[in-house]
Homo-oligomer: A and B are copies of this chain.
């Protein structure tokens, strides 16, 4: 019996989600684990917690921009801050595209998620529109027309909504949010604890 995949919940608009996305695959592979990638719409959780988008909060926003930039440098992860007045992006198109692709090409969906994250936070591009997502997807060999139709498909809309609701039921309120079996870890800064947990099976 093989071990369960590690559940990786993320919001495309979340820079810490991006940072974690660059490392989670190798981290899991070191322990023979797969990663299940779950894009979610964090706004739904924010309605419950009262949280606001991070980057525009007085005092906290400027610190977080400094912190992400510094962490990306430390981890040697490409990082370009997108123009602040375009953030947070509406990640509906990016998330729906990933959910759609996952239904018939799970490996391709992970590659697409990584490419979207890289374009947005690695290169600082605006990824809040269907066109921008289709541009990134086209580079992955995904048909623009099919993707545009999928993003507007009521069944895909419902699938993303359902996945987000299931995540919240499980306790997810931020991005990244990781479960090792049923143990929850919130934040890119918990990856080291995720590593220790996988290594020792808890403590």
Chain A residues packing against B (C-beta within 8 Å): 45, 48-52, 57-60, 62-63, 66-67, 70-71, 73-74, 168, 171-174, 184, 186-187, 189-190, 192-193, 196, 203
Contacts and interface: CB of A to CB of B under 8 A. Distances in A.
Given A49-B59, A74-B196, A66 B184 contact: yes
A74 B193 contact: yes
B74 A59 contact: no
A60 B196 contact: no
Contacts of A51: 60
Contacts of A49: 57-60
B189 A62 contact: no
26 contacts: A45-B59, A48-B58, A49-B57, A49-B58, A49-B59, A49-B60, A50-B52, A50-B57, A51-B60, A59-B168, A59-B171, A59-B172, A60-B174, A62-B171, A63-B171, A66-B184, A67-B186, A70-B203, A71-B193, A74-B193, A74-B196, A74-B203, A187-B189, A189-B189, A189-B190, A192-B192
Given A60-B174, A187-B189, 6 more contacts: A49-B59, A49-B60, A50-B52, A51-B60, A63-B186, A74-B196
B203 A73 contact: yes
Contacts of A186: 63, 67
Contacts of A171: 59, 62-63
A70 to B, nearest CB: 8
B52 A48 contact: no
A66 B173 CA distance: 14
A140 to B, nearest CB: 33
